[in-house]
Amino acid sequence: MVDIIIAGESGKLHAVYHKAAAPAAPLAVVLSGNPRQKYHMNDRVSYAMFRAFMDIGFSVLRFNYRGVNDSDGAIGTTADNMLDIATVIDWIQNHNEDSDKIWLAGHGLGAWYVLQAMMRRPEVSGFALVSPDASISDFAFLSPRPNRGLLLQGTGETDDAKAFGAHLTQVLKKQAQIDLETIRVKGADANYSAPVDLRQMYNDLKAYVGRENAEDKLL
């Protein structure tokens, strides 16, 4: 994996990129949590998601939104961050023209960004939501977009977070025709703070993506 700089709307975006050996390897972009809560591309959960895709043969990229660590600018709004995400997706696709699959994975607020990006990018073939931010309740952006995806949550998360996960599953199925598989990591909190919980999250994500990609079932 290598550090790279991507030209964004507000200046440089700092990213880490792994290029798979196979020219037509599937692609993945990892979206970290809320930068205002000190999440970034090198936090433990973002790195674990990155490694899960890397270790099953994907070309994968993680990056810092504008204003985070070595990325230029000030911390932005959701609209700003969505522009950065679009820039990064364009970059990895332009550098892997032989690939016809791209996945998105996000943690916390990044999980919401995954859903918004998927609504705007019909080429997204799969996704993973890791402990999505339960404080967000605006589903207006969802429209029919048949697809399959994964929801990962810890059983040690708050009751509100777990109830929200069940609610999100129903909303996605009804409003967006999305089939969401849920995996719960026993005892884990939303940050997978214990090493054993982080390892389990990594294993579950890797297994799900590997199975779905290998079976070529995604729309």
Question: Above 90 in pLDDT, residue 141?
Answer: no
pTM of the model: 0.93
The answer to whether residues 111 and 130 touch, using CB atoms and an 8 Å cutoff, is yes
Chain mean pLDDT for the chain: 93
Tell me the β-bridge partners of 61.
17, 29
SS3 17: strand
Closest by alpha carbon to 106, among 122, 95, 117?
117
DSSP 83: H
DSSP 36: G
Helices (H), the chain: 44-54, 78-94, 109-120, 159-176, 195-215
Domains of the chain as residue ranges with CATH: 2-215 (3.40.50.1820)
pLDDT tens-digit map of 28-59: 999 999 999 999 999 999 999 999 999 999 99
Instruction: Return the pLDDT at 163.
Output: 92
Token reading at 207: 């297994």
Q: Say which range, 1-5, 16-20, 47-51, 154-158, has the weakest mean pLDDT.
A: 1-5
DSSP 64: P
Question: Above 50 in pLDDT, residue 217?
Answer: no
Q: What's the whole-number mean pLDDT along residues 129-152?
A: 89
DSSP 211: H
Pairing of strands 59-63, 102-107: unpaired
Instruction: Return the pLDDT at 216.
Output: 59
The answer to whether residues 124 and 103 touch, using CB atoms and an 8 Å cutoff, is yes
Instruction: Return the pLDDT at 186.
Output: 96
